[in-house]
Chains A and B, each alone.
Chain A
Amino acid sequence: MPAKINTRFAQSDAYISQLMRDVRDVPAQGAFPMGRRTFFKLAGAGAAGLVLGFHLPGEAFAATAQAGKDQAMNAFIRIAPDNSITIYSKAPEIGQGIKTSFGLIIAEELDADWNHVVMEQAEINPKVYGNQGAGGSTSIPRAWDQLRQAGAGAKAMLVAAAAKQWKVDPSQITARDSMLSHPSGKSATYGSLAIAAANMPVPDPKSLKLKARSEYRLLGRRHRGVDDPKVVTGQPLFGIDVQLPDMVYASYTKCPAAGGKVKSFNDAEIRALPGVLDCFVVEGTGVPAEVMPGVAIVAKDTWTAFQAKNRLKVDWDLSEASKDSTTEFSARAKKLAASFPGKPVVDIGNVDNAFANAAKTVEAYYEYPFAAHAPLEPQNTTAHWHDGVIEVWSPSQQPNRGLANLAKVTGVKEDKVVIHQTRVGGGFGRRLVNDYMCEAAAIALKVKTPVKLQWTREDDFNHDFYRPAGYHQFKGAVDKNGKLDAWQEHFITFTADGKKEASGANLTENLKYSTIAPNLRRGTTMMPLVIPTGAWRAPGDNAQVFANQSFMHELSLTAGRDHVQFLLDAVNTRVPELAPKDPKTVNFSPARASAVIKLCAEKAGWGKTLPQGSGLGLAWCYSHAGHVAQAVELSVDANKRITIHKVTVVIDVGPIIDMAGSEAQAQGASTDALSTAMGLQINIENGRIKQQNYNDYPTLRMPFAPKVIEAHFIQSDNPPTGMGEPAFPAFAPALGNAIFSATGERVRSLPLRNLGYSV
């Protein structure tokens, strides 16, 4: 029984899809064309020293003037007379290490003394900072030029000030560790020059000479996370840690089946509970990405709000609620898989012909489940409605979008929205959507004081924007030379609006480059879905690469070829239709792909003899502008218990900013990918999510985590791209391929625990 299309859900899905496209379009050559932006010095620079930011020509000047001094405190760099340097990170820190990396990029070009740099979170103001989101591994590529120019621009002004004071040629002045010096022996700290520098003309960004890689002192080395001292001592950092005077606490309860509306609830009983201050229905906008209907309970503390929530009895109107069922989806997809759709989305060469003349063909069906993000910090936001302003403190991945979200939800203009970005206790794509932020604001409208909305873990599992399940029917052919000749893929997926794939449910562009076949046909069949979906770490790739790269292994085995050679042949096949059309947004490179595959094979000991029951698997992907190959060496015992001996990750994301952070991402993404492949799934029945907490959702724990993960980076002069996502997708197929090598059993569905495997 196909679900009805809910227009508000479709609207929400369109918003999320657009958001995902926004965060995904990675400029190929650095961030923004030089010269499009210009610097500005900010008001109040005199007392504070040199404060430097950017603006978009036109409206930004107005923004600067309006916001006055407060904003001035929040541009990229502030150099105080005492030589203390504060650098503002414009993007959310979600664990990807961006606050450290952004600081390093600026400090590198500024030649600042890193040991005396203080990193602060910038206010949310896209007019000054441009995009302030964190997602799609785009923070680094988007900001690379902008931040380097900020650092180099400030340095140029300091140098100009010194040259003027010392009456020397600026080119003879050298900068190091927040200090300028001249061969004559003259030297001065940045702090002592800060006020003079602030009065120097602002340089044209195009005139700035940025450092070559060989000149880096900070970039590429290992650094400590700038917030580490606070993290390890438990200082307030995260959204959940916000405390304001007179703050009250709220819980919010939405229908367990998405789309249900409140008919009534036991208002009098809840209101009478000790410590409960108020309870009311929030109608919301009916858009999952904003505010769905529910019951808010405001109480004197979080526990009271939670206890009252437990006592809450809501009579739901389920007429428009989801009745989705994952068992039904799986069964239907399997049936649908058999008939390839009439209109392929990609049709290159002549697939039918290739199959007819193939040396060998092979077919297989792959599937993987829905997945929740389950970041460890449950969703929360503190909101304060005062003086016609909605002010929030929120752990969002997409705060700049929050401005428009909150304006819509509260009915004020965007300039009456103030968002304070907090550190984020895990993102994984979940917090690209600002639903919890909007809910807090909607609740705050009815509360006189600041109110902290706190979700329970169960709320988080029930109201996620899930990674959609997917089902792939493959047919492939190899030619008489053992090369990939034809690839047919029927992808059964989901739609929210009945027209296009739901958010995160489309075949990703990246797949084209990892399965380059002269004859290629891809078709899609969509099943209507009400439950919202969204971006989950390496959207699309995170599971589609599992299916595709596992099937690639089936093909190389069918061909009787060495898998690495087979992959190298495939990535180097020239198929004009699959060549990147837009060099600005895509930078897939066969050479970079080949290099990571080769190095990974070498570092993993590809080809070595392994004991009985052991196996080595390898897979690769091009994802989020990164080229990554991963290898897993493991053994499997008679009880299907897997022991992972070594994981090898080889990555080309251009030059590395912070080696410690980049290795952490490689290790973390591999561990996350193992966790997801082994055990994670979301089941939905009658529109309700079965998994309610971590006891139902076995996130990997210490005893099961790999003990050896080697990360190797191929660094180059290509512009740097992000590390948050690329090291995730190729892990699962490498794992599956290794299991096949060890046992002869092909893994065609996830999670592995459903097949009896454990780690």
Chain B
Amino acid sequence: MLRLQINGEERLVGDDVDPKTPLLWVLRDHLSLVGSKFGCGVAQCGACTVHVDGKPVRSCQLTVGNVGAKAVTTIEGIGKTPNGAKIQAAWMEIEVPQCGYCQAGQIMSATALLNSTPSPSDSDIDAAMAGNICRCGTYIRIRQAIKNAAAKSV
């Protein structure tokens, strides 16, 4: 039995789940948290990004056995954090999503960026967001939404 800390709650994962299973698939298939998305399985698209102890992590590469007692935050829980809420609001304000599939990962990366860099420059945005692919090409609005969110005081 694994005890995970997810979005501030303890979630139990049964022994039927192999500890080598990536966190992504435990979230999606076993804990009904389907907001984190499967896109590539090789840490190239960023759709599965979650926070582990506040750091953005590709949950398709992190085995659930290696999560331990670290605090996991997913897209379902990020709105409870000040920067997460700001980012979500900014995303809706300028209509960032097209198909929307990558946006959970984009929001997780963007929130982590604001957590470490409250007023990010273009180059900070490039560095923090480059690991997230948007196949629809919403980058121009993601950049703007991050700047808009940063401009709002907490």
Contact = CB atoms under 8 A, between A and B. Distances in A.
Interface of A: 93-97, 222-225, 227-229, 231-238, 240-241, 243, 249, 274-275, 300-304, 306, 374-378, 423-428, 454, 456-457, 660-661, 664-665, 667-672, 675, 693-695, 699-703, 705-709
For this complex, into which size category does the number of interface residues on chain B fall?
Answer: 35 or more
Contacts of A675: 137
B29 A701 contact: no
Contact of A426 (B40, B79, B135): B135
A425 B122 contact: no
Contacts of A426: 99, 101, 135-136
A97 B98 CA distance: 7
Contact of A224 (B95, B122, B125): B95
Contacts of B45: 376, 694
B32 interface: yes
Contacts of B53: none
Contacts of B66: none
Q: Name the residue in B18, B32, B132, B140 with the highest tally of chain A Cβ atoms < 10 Å from its Cβ.
A: B140
B37 interface: yes
B44 interface: yes
A369 to B, nearest CB: 18
Contact of A378 (B39, B76, B79, B126): B39
A466 to B, nearest CB: 16
Contact of B140 (A232, A425, A694, A709): A709
Interface in B106-128: 107, 122, 125-127
Contacts of B154: none
A457 B91 contact: no
Interface in B47-84: 47, 74-76, 79
A227 B122 contact: no
Contacts of B122: 707
Interface of B: 16-18, 21-22, 25, 28-30, 32-42, 44-45, 47, 74-76, 79, 88, 91-95, 97-104, 107, 122, 125-127, 129-143
A-side interface mostly:
loop
A287 to B, nearest CB: 27
Contacts of B25: 301-303
Nearest to B129: A702
A278 to B, nearest CB: 17
A139 B143 CA distance: 30
Given A303-B21, A660-B94, 7 more contacts: A228-B97, A232-B103, A423-B99, A660-B95, A661-B95, A703-B127, A707-B140
B75 A95 contact: no
Contacts of A249: 29
A705 B139 contact: yes
Given A234-B76, A376-B39, A225 B104 contact: no
B76 A228 contact: no
A672 B40 contact: no
A220 B122 CA distance: 31
Contacts of A703: 126-127, 130
Nearest to A455: B38
A426 B138 CA distance: 12
B134 to A, nearest CB: 8
Nearest to A243: B32
A705 B140 contact: yes
B34, B36, B126 interface centre (most CB from chain A within 10 Å)? B34
Given A303-B21, A426-B99, A671 B140 contact: yes
Contacts of B137: 667-672, 675, 700, 705
B33 A701 contact: no
A303 B29 contact: yes
A701 B133 contact: yes
| Pairs A-B, 5 closest by C-beta atoms | A234-B35, A671-B137, A95-B99, A425-B101, A234-B75
Most buried by A among B41, B126, B142: B41
